[in-house]
Structure 1
Amino acid sequence: MKTIIKLKKLKYIGVFFLLFLCSCEDVIDVDLETGDSTIVIDAEILWEKGTDGNVQTIRISRMTDYYNPEPPKVSGAQIYIENSSGDLFTFSETDVMGVYVCDNFLPQLNETYTLQVTVEDKTFTASETLIPVPEINRVEQDYIEGFSGDENFEVSIFYDDPENQTNFYLTDFKASVLQYPEYILIDDEFYNGNEVENNFSDEDLEVGNSIEIIHRGVSEQFYNYMNLVLETTSSNPFATPPANIRGNIINQSNHEDYALGYFRLCEANQLLYTLDEERTENTN
């Protein structure tokens, strides 16, 4: 299964309808509900290939109401991650409120880790496994025909899916022409043991634009969670997820008072690709 999410551009409805709206003089006050104070824990341990993965970051905030563009940050949390051998990795709060960093984390593929966050007398925990990801074989750029008949840039990554395994992947493409990244969520049901292609295009891409690509291996549980999130919203899924979609972070004293977010550990390929004049370019 392959899920691709794009933010849709809003279209104006029509001149006459806009003129009608402008002719209205009555002011309508909309009473929107104030957001609750649910804790949001953004805990992604991302081990980029070729690095030691020692420095990791966790962010904690709260849900906010409609009129507040910046979620309130949460200070004073106690955070650590423990591996199966009992080693503890402590996350200390930085000068930036709500941002906690560990500089001695030891990532190990297929190792199980447990997160514990204590904030305001509440203790939240979650457990996950660090999932590997295959190397990216190459990156290609090409042109494809858009809806208007114009040729648009398309960028593709290629990687070999391991044979006789069930694997899940999340790839995101970030570019200055996008308000939010484009995400591709995929399992290997139809690609097992073969080379897989993930691609991204946008009508506003131009020569010289840089595209940041992060390609992760993810667990089946996180795949299912993200599938629900991406089906529910086309906005940024790594901001505040829909309140009715629970992650794996549990309040130990009250399971109904859960935190939003998902504790996940991923090995990742991360690269920056710049579009050039060539019709097709390969990068090993």
Structure 2
Amino acid sequence: MKKLIYILCMLPIFTACEDVIEVEVPTDKARLTVDALMRIDTTQPSTNYYAEVKVSVSSNFFETIEPAILEQISITNLASQENIPLFETFIGSGVYQSETTVDFMTSGELILFIQHEGSRYAARTTYVPAVPIKKLEQGDATLFSGEETEIIVAFDDQPNQTDFYLFDFDFNEYLVTEDTFYP
């Protein structure tokens, strides 16, 4: 009798229903995604640096992101009129790079030019120096769940100019911030 009561109590657990919910995910045409990083460390004695650009083609929500195969990619410095083509590091990787100099990257306006599947894309930028970090330490405070790590960063911000800060957390995680809210 006890076994029968036990079986009857366990029966609803094993006969629970599951409903399959069909979710319509919107589909869109593929788009080009460009992730460019030009890191310059002027404190190092080297005069040559690499410009690296990762280009991929976005996809629908549940599909994989594929590397883009470009027809052409280059960076032009408008001040010197120098043009450097970028080459794919490994065939099919979608990562394009080329060796360059500090002068090329820091003087004048830069244009990134990309040609992909008959379409042309261009982006403009200028070099913006970052303020050196004076002190970096791990703190004890947390924000929400208690599992965050507090990082205390100290630097001298110039009050009469707009500065930008790039924090590299590794694993392709970056934070770019402007000094609007810093004293």
Q: TM-score normalised by the shorter chain: which range applies? A: 0.7 to 0.9
Change over 3 Å in CA distance of 1:53–1:36 after alignment to 2: farther
Gaps in structure 1 of 5+ consecutive residues: 1-18, 192-284
| The structure with more radius of gyration | 2
Provide the TM-score with structure 1 as the length reference: 0.50
Answering whether residue 113 of structure 2 is matched by residue 132 of structure 1, we say no
Aligned residues: percent identity?
26
Kindly indicate whether the alpha-carbon contact (under 8 Å) linking 1:171 and 1:184 is maintained by their aligned counterparts in 2. Answer: yes
Answering whether residue 68 of structure 2 is matched by residue 74 of structure 1, we say yes
Kindly indicate whether the alpha-carbon contact (under 8 Å) linking 2:128 and 2:164 is maintained by their aligned counterparts in 1. Answer: no
**SS of alignment partner, residue 26 of structure 2:** coil
**SS of alignment partner, residue 144 of structure 1:** coil
Per-residue deviation at 1:115?
1.2
User: In structure 2, what is the Cα distance between the partners aligned to 1:182 and 1:90?
Assistant: 26
Corresponding residue of 2:5: none
Q: Which one has a larger percent helix, Structure 1 or Structure 2?
A: 2
User: In structure 1, what is the Cα distance between the partners aligned to 2:22 and 2:165?
Assistant: 45
Change over 3 Å in CA distance of 1:63–1:35 after alignment to 2: farther
Provide the TM-score with structure 2 as the length reference: 0.74
Change over 3 Å in CA distance of 1:33–1:105 after alignment to 2: farther
Matches within 5 A, 1:84-233: 84-97=79-92, 98-106=94-102, 107-109=104-106, 111-144=108-141, 153-174=149-170, 181=173, 183=175, 185-188=177-180, 190-191=182-183
Give the length in aligned residue pairs.
166
Corresponding residue of 1:59: 54
Kindly indicate whether the alpha-carbon contact (under 8 Å) linking 1:138 and 1:157 is maintained by their aligned counterparts in 2. Answer: yes
Corresponding residue of 2:4: none
Corresponding letter in the other structure for 1:186: E
Per-residue deviation at 1:145?
5.8
Kindly indicate whether the alpha-carbon contact (under 8 Å) linking 1:110 and 1:132 is maintained by their aligned counterparts in 2. Answer: no
Per-residue deviation at 1:137?
0.8
Kindly indicate whether the alpha-carbon contact (under 8 Å) linking 1:47 and 1:53 is maintained by their aligned counterparts in 2. Answer: no
User: In structure 1, what is the Cα distance between the partners aligned to 2:182 and 2:149?
Assistant: 26
> Aligned Cα RMSD in Å?
3.1
Corresponding residue of 1:200: none
Corresponding residue of 2:8: none
